[in-house]
Amino acid sequence: MTRRRRLLVVSLAALAASGCLVASLHPIYDDNSIVFDEALLGMWANRESEVSAVVTRGEWRSYHVAYTDRFGTTQFTAHLTTLGGARLLNIRPQDGQERPAFLVATNGILQVSVEGDRLRVREPEYGAVLQRLNAGKLGVEAATDLKQNILLTAPSTKVRSWLAAALADEALWADWKIFVRSAQ
């Protein structure tokens, strides 16, 4: 299977999955907020969900992430950013890859916390974000697609401001998922 076809299959599988996405059109970081934390590097596994991630050093304070689930392995580029006392991982399809026409690479949003050999990860709570968007009370420009995936369309500075407020609102975040460092 060609790389382009595999990317399309993975994209379609993600869209067909029961969980819907909250992503941003623009990155959630700026040059001043990017940090690099060696503690994120390594192999991480969540046995409950049967998923794993291998995080390696990328170019210019970035990470390469190989995420493996029941559909296979998908490659991402990620940047770690700080917002107040929180750390957020901006994750998007691997940089440098040609994409088919009409396929737009978006920026996923994950709050992360490394505590020794445990990596805690959570994402925006899709249902709460959708409810506020539909009620006109989200507080940031956003749109949905045919599958009701949510795309924050505001510029990076506005998305960061919204995220700063959202971090104080537990209703806007899903439960933490725990990944444990594995030794290969």
The more confident residue out of 9 and 113 is 113
**N-term to C-term CA, the chain:** 27
Quote the percentage of the chain above a pLDDT of 90: 76
Q: Is residue 4 part of a domain?
A: no
Q: Is residue 33 part of a domain?
A: yes
Q: Is residue 131 part of a domain?
A: yes
pLDDT category of residue 103 using cuts at 50, 70 and 90: confident
Q: Is residue 26 part of a domain?
A: yes
Look at residue 24 in the predicted model and tell me its pLDDT: 97
pLDDT category of residue 96 using cuts at 50, 70 and 90: low
Look at residue 104 in the predicted model and tell me its pLDDT: 83
* Strand 150-152 to 42-46 pairing: unpaired
Phi-psi region of 49 (alpha: psi -120 to 50; beta: other; left: phi over 0): alpha
pLDDT at 89 over 80: yes
pLDDT at 5 over 70: no
Mean predicted confidence (pLDDT) in 37-41: 96
pLDDT category of residue 7 using cuts at 50, 70 and 90: very low
pLDDT category of residue 184 using cuts at 50, 70 and 90: low
What whole-number distance in Å separates Cα of residue 57 and Cα of residue 97? 18
Comparing CA positions, the residue from 105, 104, 108 lying closest to residue 80 is 108
Q: Per this entry, what is the length of the chain?
A: 184
Number of structural domains the chain divides into:
1
State the residue range of the domain holding 142: 20-182
Q: What are phi and psi of 5, to 5 degrees?
A: -65, -40
Residue 81 Cα to chain centre, angstroms: 12
Query: Of 4-8, 77-81, 141-145, which range is least confident?
Result: 4-8
Look at residue 53 in the predicted model and tell me its pLDDT: 97
What whole-number distance in Å separates Cα of residue 103 and Cα of residue 45? 29
Mean predicted confidence (pLDDT) in 58-83: 95
pLDDT at 12 over 50: no
| C-beta of residue 110 within 8 angstroms of C-beta of residue 122 | yes
Comparing CA positions, the residue from 44, 64, 49, 43 lying closest to residue 18 is 49
Look at residue 100 in the predicted model and tell me its pLDDT: 74
Q: What is the pLDDT of residues 108-122, one digit of tens each?
A: 999 999 999 999 999
| C-beta of residue 143 within 8 angstroms of C-beta of residue 15 | no
Q: Is residue 171 part of a domain?
A: yes
Q: Is residue 29 part of a domain?
A: yes
| C-beta of residue 184 within 8 angstroms of C-beta of residue 42 | no
